[in-house]
Amino acid sequence: MTSASEAPPLINCDSCGVPNSIEAWQCAKCGAALARARASAISVAEQIAPTITEAKTHGGCLTAFLIYLMFSSAVILFAFFTRPAGGRPTADQSVLTLAGLAIGFANLAAPIGIWRWKKWGVYLCVMSAGVQIGIVFLVGLSIFSASGALLTLGLVRLLLNPIWKYFQ
């Protein structure tokens, strides 16, 4: 026979207040999980939860790519705004000029979004490259004319896939 001093300590149920053995997982009266059970479950969850030890960094290759993208876009926009006004452009040339300007501004905004870990920056970069490829095929140029856009798509996939979890 066990004495009172050898009895396991008791904990009160949070739901009904009935004392239960500290070894119990559920209240003997109402069946609610006891604090020990909740604490144990939290401890197990903390042990099996993945821990992210890597820091949220851009890395050298991504930084160089974003700088290249912004610089090349700035050069293209500069060329658009400083070209000589030789004659009146045709409708096709006006559409291509507007598309080129839109792509240039998109390629200036996309790296800023990517740098700030925003998904819209990635989507804008991919969309801009897709529009560039579409224009190349509409105009009837070779696939080599779209190599810059294809390279952009490849680099976005290569550089951003491992860190996609950080984007909001």
**pTM over cut 0.85:** no
Does any domain span residue 106? yes
Q: pLDDT tens digits, residue range 59-89?
A: 888 999 999 888 988 887 887 777 666 555 5
Within this chain, do residues 141 and 64 fall inside the same structural domain, yes or no?
A: yes
Whether 93 and 131 share a structural domain = yes
For residues 68 and 39, membership in a common domain is answered with: no
Are 74 and 131 in a shared domain? yes
The yes-or-no verdict on residue 58 having pLDDT over 60 is yes
pLDDT tens digits, one per residue of 99-154: 878 888 888 899 999 999 999 999 999 999 998 888 888 888 888 878 888 888 99
Task: Looking at the structure, tell me whether residues 42 and 64 fall in a common domain.
Answer: no
7 pLDDT band, cuts 50/70/90, is low
Same-domain status, 108 and 159:
yes
Does residue 120 sit within a domain? Answer: yes
Asked, for residue 55, whether it belongs to a domain, the answer is no
**The domain containing residue 139 runs over which residues?**
60-166
- Region at 99 (left for phi over 0; alpha for psi -120 to 50; beta for the rest): alpha
Note the pLDDT of residue 132: 86
Does residue 155 carry a pLDDT above 70? yes
Report whether pLDDT(91) > 60: no
User: Do 93 and 130 fall into the same domain?
Assistant: yes
Amino acid 15: pLDDT = 86
Pair (79, 144) in one structural domain: yes
Q: Are 40 and 98 within one domain?
A: no
Q: Are residues 21 and 91 in the same domain?
A: no
In a domain, 54, yes or no: no
Is residue 3 predicted with pLDDT exceeding 70? Answer: no
Give the model's pLDDT for residue 55: 65
Residue 53 included in any domain:
no
The answer to whether residue 125 is domain-embedded is: yes
Total domains in the chain come to: 2
* 138 domain residue, yes or no: yes
70/118 same-domain check: yes
Query: Do 122 and 78 share a structural domain?
Result: yes
pLDDT of residue 10: 80
Q: Which of 12-21, 39-48, 49-58 has the weakest average pLDDT? A: 39-48
Confidence at 32, pLDDT banded by 50, 70, 90: confident
The confidence band for 1, taking pLDDT boundaries of 50, 70 and 90, is very low
